[in-house]
Amino acid sequence: MKVLFIGAYGKVGQHFADQIKDHPQIKEKALIRNPDQVPFFEERGIETVLLDLAASSIDTIAEAAKEVDAIVFSAGAGGKGLEKTFTVDLDGAVKAMEAAKKAGVNRFVMVSTFRNDREELLKQNSLQPYTIAKYYADEWLRSHTDLDWTIVHPGGLTDDPATGKVKVGKRNEFGSIPRGDVAATLVAVLENNATIGKEFEVIHGDTAIDEAIGSL
């Protein structure tokens, strides 16, 4: 399986690259915006494609997705303002889904926010624009595509060492999770086709990642 990872130089994406570089069955194609990031992936033997998600057309993204089997969307504006939030987290995500369809890529894994239901959507705080963007991107994936999707909702992201153990489910209590464990969760999702059509929250827990994902 060859995976186009959108947002590959984000912190979760970097962990994913380290975990996937020697994987016997999954290979990565890293979508990045900055040419200065290329050496990080070259050192790991990972192919790269340079593309500005916000500025690119569906056709351009589809070209980057040629000859891959799955797309992982983990791009985000990272607090760079309202405009970037909507052009990356919402419009960029929808363009990636439409590009997947155009390129004939059926598998699509979305990294979302921890909880973005209607109740969260209406909370007026600094994260509201981000929550709105993620809510409608997820809704588009579920309701307006025929892609083989999985939506992953990580808790609060930390740089703590990965533990290899998580708790998955819906309506979990809010908790944190090391970024390395999020990356390992994405690998486990890609390895397990039973996750297609599934949506779940994931935080630090006591269950080995493969076992937790296998229980979905």
Q: Answer whether 149's CB lies under 8 Å from 197's CB.
A: yes
* Residue ranges with strand state E in 164-212: 165-169, 176-178, 198-204, 207-208
CA distance 58 to 100: 9
Helix (H) or strand (E) holding 2: strand 2-6
Residue type, 96: A
CA distance 51 to 208: 35
Candidates 9, 130, 135, 136; catalytic one: 130
Three-state DSSP state, 183: helix
Q: Is 130 a catalytic residue?
A: yes
Which residues is 203 bridged to in the sheet? 167
CA distance 128 to 116: 9
CA distance 51 to 133: 21
Largest alpha-carbon pair distance within the chain?
A: 46
- Residues serving a catalytic function are 130
